[in-house]
Structure 1
Amino acid sequence: MDLLRSLPIGSYLEHPVTWLHKIDPRVKLVWLMTFLVAPLLSNPFWRIGLAASLILLTIIAGIPLRVWRKQMGWLLLLCFFMFLLSSVAPDSLAAKHSPRMPQFCPDAIVPATSTDTPENLTTQQPAECQLKLPQPTSYQYVYLDRRGFLFFPRLVVTRRSLDVAVRISTLIFTLIYSTSLYLLTTAPEEITAGLEDLMSPLRRLNLPIPEITLTLTLSLRFIPLVLEEVQNLVRSVRTRAIDWKKLGVKRSAQLWLIVSEKLLENLLLRAEQIAVAMDVRGFTSPNEHRVQWHQLRLRWRDWIALGILIPFWCARWLIGGVA
């Protein structure tokens, strides 16, 4: 089990360098915000198209299969189960839907007398006349209605529940995978440099922009360390060949509590080591120790990526619609 290789969440792919790596981090940040905002208030077809476009972008960018295969596989599996659970869950609408049914049979109308009432006329019709009328349109609110048997509950899939299922599953995939793809193709220094450049107007409000970007840089660098510590602790537990059945629930919980305490202790130790290393090198303030690792400059590929935003948002308003 290697979390750093199987699930490279927050890890930067240094090699191979694809064309997605060469795009300016500010442009990629704008596209990331676009993928996060575009699914809001959109129809299911647009949401599915966004998820498919992320998969297609990964393939076109030439990112190795070993990098995103397991990560995308587990994420797609999670979204699939979320789709199944949400589609069969109650749709939260108290409306009872029924097809069009005739009130009486036209061929069996009994002539009305002075003593007959409207209630008597309807009750005099035979039960065979209660037939379904042909629906005027192809609209269906209930897609699937299967009665349960034995221990299986009744399965009802409606238009509302299916829409909610598509919305939840595609949102989870788009939010997680778009962020992961951004971190995969953008170095932490590029991310912080781009954010610092975009937030530079906020300096007029006396906001500590250098301190915020430094904290973000350290947090991004700390994600692989957290995965490494989790991986080491899991391996240490597996090598001891613990029989969980003999331990029981209480002792197993105590053991995992000890492991969690050890994980927190190791992470705090790593954080202290980073602080000591910065202190030894004379680091006092981000303003006095500025190292420009990347030169932010928009090139032709960046302008093309920004230009694609215009037809993208036009398609969003014309095709995406409102959910």
Structure 2
Amino acid sequence: MDLLRSLPIGLYLEQPITWLHRLDPRVKLGWLLSFLLAPILASAMWKLSLVGILVIISILAGIPWRALKQQMGWLLLFGGAIFIVGIFAPDSINVTHQLRSPPDAGMEIAQPYQYVLFKLDTGALQFKITRKSIDNAIYASSLIFTSVYSTTVYLLTTSPEEVATGLDDLMAPLRRYNVPVTEIALTLTLSLRFIPLVLEEIQNLVRSVYTRGIDWQKLGLKNSAKVWLTVSEKLLENLLNRAEQIAIAMQVRGFTTPNTHKVDWHQLKLRKLDFLAMAVLAIFWTARFIVGGQII
């Protein structure tokens, strides 16, 4: 089990440098928020289109498959399982088949609106697939894929320093209302840098447990829970020690507050590629409101 490779959360892909790396972090943050907000009240085809757009962006950017295969495998498996469960789940709508208008004498009877697409009733088992259940399944599975995958691509192509600098610049107007913008950006940077340390501690503790060859069947459920509780306490203790060491190192170097020791981690500058990405983003939202709306 290698958590540092299977969970690329908080990890930055330094090589190769793709065109996504060269984009301004503020522009990439706008695209990330767009992928998170665009599925709201959107049609099923638009939700599926978002999945395709994300995959196409990853292919065009040339992100190595080694950085995404582990994450993609579990994500596709989880999303597929949610879709299968969702199409058979009750939609809480009781609709009977009825004609759109009462037939007149001598006129051809109109076809009823087919709301239930598939129904299986064997007595003990009852399954029903409706239009609403398919829409709910597409919404749940596509939402999980777009939210997790877009965030993963964003973190892989944006360093923690760039993320913090971009947020600090975007939240600059909040300083008028005494919002500690710089402290928030610093906390976010330290948090993103601390995630790999957390994964490393979890990985080391789990490996130390398995190398001892514990017979879990003989221990039973109660004793096994005690073992993992002890491991959790040790994990918390190690993480607090790591955090204290980082705090001491910052104090020794004279870092008291980010306002008095401001560090310019990244120079923000919009280039031609950034303006092109913003133009495409405007087209994206125009298409969302024109053709991507949910049909009521």
1:166 is aligned to 2:159 = no
Q: Are the structure 2 counterparts of residues 180 and 250 from structure 1 closer, same or farther at C-alpha, using a change threshold of 3 Å?
A: same
**CA–CA distance in structure 2, aligned partners of residues 138 and 285 of structure 1:** 69
Task: Tell me the equivalent position of 1:63.
Answer: 63
**CA–CA distance in structure 1, aligned partners of residues 111 and 20 of structure 2:** 47
Q: Normalized against structure 1, the TM-score is what?
A: 0.85
**CA–CA distance in structure 2, aligned partners of residues 148 and 22 of structure 1:** 58
3-state SS, counterpart of residue 252 of structure 1: helix
Task: Tell me the equivalent position of 1:28.
Answer: 28
Say which of 205, 230, 236 aligns to 2:208. Answer: 236
3-state SS, counterpart of residue 42 of structure 2: coil
Q: How many residues align?
A: 288
Letter matched to residue 116 of structure 2: V
Cα displacement (A) at 1:244: 1.4
**CA–CA distance in structure 1, aligned partners of residues 45 and 112 of structure 2:** 19
Letter matched to residue 223 of structure 2: R
**CA–CA distance in structure 2, aligned partners of residues 37 and 99 of structure 1:** 36
Task: Tell me the equivalent position of 1:81.
Answer: 81
Letter matched to residue 284 of structure 1: T
Mapping for residues 32-181 of structure 1, pairs under 5 Å: 32-93=32-93, 95-98=94-97, 136-137=110-111, 139-148=113-122, 153-181=125-153
**CA–CA distance in structure 2, aligned partners of residues 76 and 232 of structure 1:** 28
Letter matched to residue 75 of structure 2: L
Say which of 266, 273, 283 aligns to 1:301. Answer: 273
Unaligned runs of 5+ in 1: 101-105, 107-133
Cα displacement (A) at 1:222: 0.9
Q: Are the structure 2 counterparts of residues 201 and 48 from structure 1 closer, same or farther at C-alpha, using a change threshold of 3 Å?
A: same
Mapping for residues 272-287 of structure 1, pairs under 5 Å: 272-287=244-259
**CA–CA distance in structure 2, aligned partners of residues 168 and 147 of structure 1:** 26
Cα displacement (A) at 1:267: 0.9
Task: Tell me the equivalent position of 2:173.
Answer: 201
Q: Whose Rg is larger?
A: 1
Cα displacement (A) at 1:139: 4.0
Deviations 1:288-308 (A, max 9, x none): 212212110000000000111
3-state SS, counterpart of residue 136 of structure 1: coil
Q: Identity of aligned pairs, percent?
A: 58
User: Aligned-pair RMSD on alpha carbons?
Assistant: 1.7
Unaligned runs of 5+ in 2: 100-104
